[in-house]
Structure 1
Amino acid sequence: MYEEFYGFSERPFQLTPDPAFYFESVTHKKALSYLGYGLNQGEGFIVITGEVGSGKSTLVAHLKQKLDDERLTVGEVVTSALDGEEMIHVAARSFGLDVTGGDKAADLAAIELFLHEEARNGRRTLLIVDEAQNLSIGALEELRMLSNFQLGSHPLLQTLLLGQPEFKQLLAHSDELEQLRQRVIAAHHLEPMQPGEIEPYVMHRLNHVGWNGNPEIDSGIWVKLHKATGGIPRKINQVMTRLLLLGAVEEQAVLETDMLEAVIEEMSGDAAPVEDATSKVRPDREGPAADAIARAKDEARQADIAPATQTPTGAATQTAAQSASEVEARDKGLLDHQIEAIEAAFAERDKHLMAMRSEIDRLGKQRATGNLPEDIGARLAAIESRLDEQESSLRNVLGMMIDYFESQGSREAA
């Protein structure tokens, strides 16, 4: 949806790893250096770890594009919880071997024969194992045993292990993995991107899909985006997707910081317990105050004190005082709701006016350069229509304010 509104060739922030969108941050550049060194050694294990969404899969997809298919055969395993025997079978299948019997000895023999054939044909073999933190100790030990296959003095198999931080800890501290640990020739942990890398990352992905300046992006967004995502690429993609969707729904030509804050708040609420609908009145973004005031009135009616039950004579005065206090608190709460709704309405109005002024300024600059767009008439008509909507909304708000104050019959409320 938003890619059509902004004229993108495809979605710039899709979550599926795509090497075409690879961005070389400082930490990814280091990872590629370690990978290059390790692959040149042609033996042992290379280990890349990082948080969920840190870009491990995209890094490997980018690496595979750089590899020479004529000289290197690659098998890939994305694991669940595998034991040793299952690991051997899945590794054999990753190289396209026909191993259907479930016989570990037969699977090992097939793998060894395959590795020898590849070596005789002048090809090296790399096994990439993703989600390595899910592997059992037995499965990791079987991978170590596979690294023992040799042709003369030349190793036949090299393995790249990708995992989350817990795999890094397991590998560093498990006594049972000492032999595997000794065969790790290169390792790198992917760190989150730095604050100064957020803007280049976002613009890199936008430029890849044909971004031409629409939408404009408020410069204040980058610091808030880093703070909200911790510099994790997948989280950045999630937030930017929501932000672009919001911009398209509201037909905004500028992505502003308040829009980002709204998206972050909404995403935070997705994982939070559902809040009582009466605990906070939230005005809609279009014509907000009218709906908020109407809801506040409904809440007040629902909060009316039920008829008092019979009480002992001595407690009648106290009960009446409590009822009066509750009524006063209810009225005060309603007034607070009204004030909040009115403030939100004016803030919303100001935001829309600022957006329209920005649009008019852009048109003015285009006119000065003699480069007016073909749809100038339609855009001016849209601005005029939005001004009329804001004026109508404001009149409605003021009318409901008057109606509310008159219904209270109190000069103090006014």
Structure 2
Amino acid sequence: MYDTHYGLTGRPFQLTPDARFWYETATHRKAMSYLGYGLAQGEGFIVITGDIGAGKTTLVGHLLETIDPRRLHAVTIVSTAIDARDLLRTIATQLNVDPAGLEKAQLLTAIERGLHGVARTGRRTLLIVDEAQGLPVDALEELRMLSNFQAGGHALLQIVLLGQPEFRERLHGSERLEQLRQRIIAIHHLDPMEEHEVADYIAHRLSIVGWQGRPDFADDAFAALYRVSGGVPRRLNLLAGRVMLQAAVLDLTLIDAGVVETVAEDMAADLPMPTEAVAPEPVRFVADEVPVPVTPSPAPAPDEGLRARVAALETRVEQQEAALRRILTLLVDWVESDREQPDLSPLHRPSAWDHAA
């Protein structure tokens, strides 16, 4: 809805990874450098880790856009805690080898034959395994064995492992993975973006879909977006999308920190966090060691400033509820009619920003 309202050609903050929206933060630039170095070696393992939503899948999408398919045959699989045998069957299928009815030794031979088939075309195979933290040790050991396949002194297979932070901890902490560790030629952990990168990130994604500065963003909006999202790309996209929707509903031309914080509060209310356990009543002990409850101090009465802020928030909530009721009514009318698009003009109420424009 907000893309149409602001004349955009698409949704700039969709959660589905899209290589078009690639934005190179400092940590992603470093990750690409490690990937480039690793691919130049032509062997071994490259490991990229990061928290949920850090942009690992987007990074791989960008990598696949940049590599030369005449030199590399890229195969991507997503592991969901599959065992070693199923992993081998999945890899065989990706190499156009039918794994049906094959025992393990036959399966390994078939995979090696498939890798040789790719090599005869002048390419080597790049296997990208996403969600690697779900793989059991036995499956990781099978990947190590596959990395040993060679032809003419050159590796037939190179492997990129993408995983959450616990995968990095497993690699460092498991004695059974020592041989795999010795084959890792590059490793990088994706950190959240820095606060100063948020404004350029938002502007970049908006520019891809034809943004012409409407709505505009106040400087304090970027600080609020960073504070709420922690700089994690997926969280930032989710928050920014909701902020744009709120701006469209209220017909705003400027998004400031107040808008961001209001949306953040609404999102927190939609998905409340578990309530913390109530701390036990504090006690003190006298000489005879009999516990005596400490009477808590009475809470101070709210000052006038606090009352005014609460009243302002209540007013804003009422305005938002009224706006949502209007738009829902319009949408219902639209669905029940033959019109192509609902008339949203009743929502286009004049504001201070309209007069300023």
TM-score (norm 1): 0.68
Q: Residues 339 and 181 (structure 1 numbering): CA distance in 2 closer, same or farther, change over 3 Å?
A: closer
SS of 2:160 mapped into structure 1: strand
Which one has a larger percent helix, Structure 1 or Structure 2? 1
Partner of 2:153: 153
Q: Give the Cα separation in 2 of the matches to 1:24 and 1:341.
A: 41
Number of equivalences? 300
Q: Give the Cα separation in 2 of the matches to 1:207 and 1:130.
A: 29
Partner of 1:26: 26
Moved runs in structure 1, 4+ residues, more than 4 A? Answer: 338-351
AA matched with 2:265: E
SS of 2:11 mapped into structure 1: coil
Q: Residues 262 and 154 (structure 1 numbering): CA distance in 2 closer, same or farther, change over 3 Å?
A: same
Q: Give the Cα separation in 2 of the matches to 1:350 and 1:2.
A: 18
SS of 2:203 mapped into structure 1: helix
Partner of 1:264: 264
Matched, 1:177 2:180: no
* Native 8 Å contact 2:115 2:157 kept in 1: yes
Q: Give the Cα separation in 2 of the matches to 1:80 and 1:345.
A: 46
* Native 8 Å contact 2:95 2:115 kept in 1: no
Q: Give the Cα separation in 2 of the matches to 1:26 and 1:274.
A: 34
Partner of 1:187: 187
Q: Give the Cα separation in 1 of the matches to 2:308 and 2:201.
A: 41
* Greater Cα radius of gyration, structure 1 or 2: 1
Matched, 1:82 2:82: yes
Partner of 2:230: 230
Q: Residues 163 and 110 (structure 1 numbering): CA distance in 2 closer, same or farther, change over 3 Å?
A: same
Percent identical: 47
Q: Residues 149 and 248 (structure 1 numbering): CA distance in 2 closer, same or farther, change over 3 Å?
A: same
1:9-408 to structure 2, matched below 5 A, reads 9-101=9-101, 103-272=103-272, 343-344=312-313, 356-362=351-357
SS of 1:162 mapped into structure 2: strand
| Structure 1 residues without counterparts, runs of 5 or longer | 276-331, 333-337, 363-414
TM-score (norm 2): 0.79
| Structure 2 residues without counterparts, runs of 5 or longer | 276-300, 302-306, 321-349
Q: Residues 178 and 254 (structure 1 numbering): CA distance in 2 closer, same or farther, change over 3 Å?
A: same
* Alignment root-mean-square deviation, CA: 2.6
SS of 1:73 mapped into structure 2: strand
Relative contact order (C-alpha < 8 Å, sep 6+): which is higher? 2
Q: CA deviation at 1:157?
A: 0.4
Q: CA deviation at 1:346?
A: 6.8
Q: CA deviation at 1:31?
A: 0.3
Q: Residues 15 and 71 (structure 1 numbering): CA distance in 2 closer, same or farther, change over 3 Å?
A: same
